[in-house]
Chain A
Amino acid sequence: MEKWPNNRAWLLVLPVFVIVAFSAIIPLMTVINYSVQDIFGPGQSVFVGTEWFREMLADKRLHDALWRQFLFSGLVLAIEMPLGILIALAMPKKGWAASVCLVTIALPLLIPWNTIGTIWMIFTRPDIGLFGAGMNDLLGIPFDHTDNWLDAWITVMLMEVWHWTPLVALLAYAGLRAIPEVYYQAARIDGASAWATFLYIQLPKMRGVLTIAFLLRFMDSFLIYAEPFVLTGGGPGNSTTFLSIYLVKIALLQFDLGPGGAFSLIYFVIVLLFSFIFYQALQRVGKGETV
């Protein structure tokens, strides 16, 4: 007997398809559409091909923002990954102290992003902020993130580390707790030092969660917008104008939809490309033959 597949089941996928279409596919197609046209007003547009892409790729200010962005993400990863692992190693293994630590550490992750920017803006204000006024008046070190580019960078980095290191710490902690006790027992019997235990047991066993932490932190820091926007607005000068801030300037403040669309796509491809490269590289660490 021939079996008739019941194709009505496909209807069950429809809601998801509609949601994904509205949340991802249609916006993406719109952006692609913008990026190849010069739009003068509603209903007045000209197809321009790759002109906007060529223009954006040659844009000096985009280059600067891109290098700034790489520096920022690089610093974020260089600080947050080791720091997160250190915090996870130092956390209590069980009991009420472990719960208290987990909740306390997770707090910054629960605060809305632009609130974080506001908190740090006030915290570091040279006139009334605890940190800013403390530096200037108590320690006598001039500190003003609205005036000095280095101070602005320090403030943004501090905020970012405070905000996101907990994520790395929580992931690393989960990874550490998943290591069976017997590995530590074997290491003790083999006479391994604490450092050797870390290097040959804890670090390799955490690879999975650390890969996720690394990718999440790379992507999020590369796309960062709300916090620096609230804190410094991209200044002083252009010193904290990251890609997303520059993009919003072009697309929404100057309303250059064509160049903005092209910029968005370039931005998207960069994030995708680097995430892919990092993922592949991290998967390969510690695999294959050794000599």
Chain B
Amino acid sequence: MARIELNEVAHSYLPKPGRNSDYALKRIHNVWEDGVACALLGPSGCGKTTLLNIVSGLLVPSRGRVLYDGKDVTALPPEKRNIAQVFQFPVLYDTMSVFNNLAFPLRNRGINEAAVKERVLEVAEILDLTPFLNKRAAGLAADAKQKISLGRGLVRSDVAAILFDEPLTVIDPQMKWLLRRKLKEIHEELKLTFIYVTHDQVEALTFADQVAVMFEGEMVQIGSPQDLFENPEHKFVGYFIGSPGMNFLECTIEGNKAKVDGTGIELDEETAAKGRNARGKLELGIRPMYLELHADSGDGRVKAAVKGVEDLGSYRIATLMLAGQTLKARLPEDKPLPGGEVWLTFPPKWTKLFEDERLIQ
């Protein structure tokens, strides 16, 4: 178990990186406390796997240092780092039995056979693999295989952290749910540091205490799932998290109001004041679920046209046009939707202002 620190880490796959865009990872500076369950969330190609491979030692970063409990391990290969990694596709030694698969990392480290047996049986019990111990690993289902990959990490009692690289990609939906719960249980039981890479926000938000959102080689925000939802610090976080993503409307500030093509939207004093001082491109952002729809006009309400409604079972998504810009609103299933024209309220508490894609704070 360890506290993992990334000190000014950057990585490029090119031999002589020059421009900023040559870097797959651009300056990551971050600490994962011991025992945390953290998710790295981001779209494909944002550098999450690169970052994970740097933590495990499969890659040596172009710049910066990796520290485990304050000890510099940047130059150490993975086998010397006491790290475990579970990959996207289950990696098994298919000629071996499940028992031998689980015992493999211990035997490689020269641990005596009695201790190996004890530890393997213990881990197999945690992962519900006991009935399969004498079976050949190759014949098992994808979820059992992925549990074996995880088990090979868990058997090592000295493991500093377990890294997951989109481990549920090849698992059936219903098994996915079970396996995710199992991971959560194991984390609570063993208090290991888990770092979990995924592009699936549901997976990240349900699994982790702390989510780091990555975008184009940078960590744009680190926080609790709630934080990311309510206070996205970057336009990308607003857009990537939530279904559908946050609404963004280009605007200008006049007094306490944000003007969207002439339509004024009330902001709270503080936000408006900061917005008046901003020099960059301004955008107003609001989550679809916080938009309020009314059938008639009223104080502070703005008019919008309803373009379409999608029924998603437990809720509905309305597509609205406000002064030439599109908005999505999330409505409860039972609430009647006025057709044609609606009046919108932007609750000041949930109405955020972004300057050049970053939240004005």
Contacts and interface: CB of A to CB of B under 8 A. Distances in A.
Interface of A: 180, 182-183, 185-186, 188-193, 196, 200-201, 204, 286-291
**Contact count band on B:** 20 to 34
Contacts of B95: 200, 204, 286
Contacts of B135: 289
Contacts of B149: 186
A290 B96 contact: yes
Given A185-B87, A289-B134, A193 B78 contact: no
23 contacts: A180-B89, A182-B87, A182-B89, A186-B85, A188-B77, A188-B78, A188-B79, A189-B83, A189-B85, A190-B108, A191-B79, A191-B105, A192-B104, A192-B108, A196-B108, A204-B94, A204-B95, A286-B95, A287-B136, A289-B134, A290-B97, A290-B134, A291-B97
A288 B135 CA distance: 8
Contacts of A186: 85, 87, 91, 149, 152
Contacts of B84: 189
Contacts of A185: 53, 58, 78, 85, 87, 91
A204 B77 CA distance: 25
B109 interface: yes
A189 B79 contact: yes
Contacts of A192: 104, 108
A190 B105 contact: yes
Contacts of B77: 188
Contacts of A201: 93
B56 interface: yes
B134 A191 contact: no
Interface of B: 53, 56, 58, 77-79, 83-85, 87-89, 91, 93-97, 100, 104-105, 108-109, 134-136, 149, 152
A201 B137 CA distance: 13
Contact of A286 (B89, B94, B108): B94
A190 B83 contact: no
Q: Pick the most buried of A185, A286, A289: most chain B CB atoms within 10 A of its CB.
A: A185
Given A204-B95, A290-B134, A193 B108 contact: yes
Contacts of A183: 91
B13 to A, nearest CB: 14
Contacts of B85: 185-186, 189
B285 to A, nearest CB: 39
Nearest to A207: B95
A286 B139 CA distance: 12
B105 A188 contact: no
Nearest to A287: B136
A189 B56 contact: yes
A118 to B, nearest CB: 44
Q: Pick the most buried of B85, B87, B93: most chain A CB atoms within 10 A of its CB.
A: B93
A200 B136 CA distance: 13
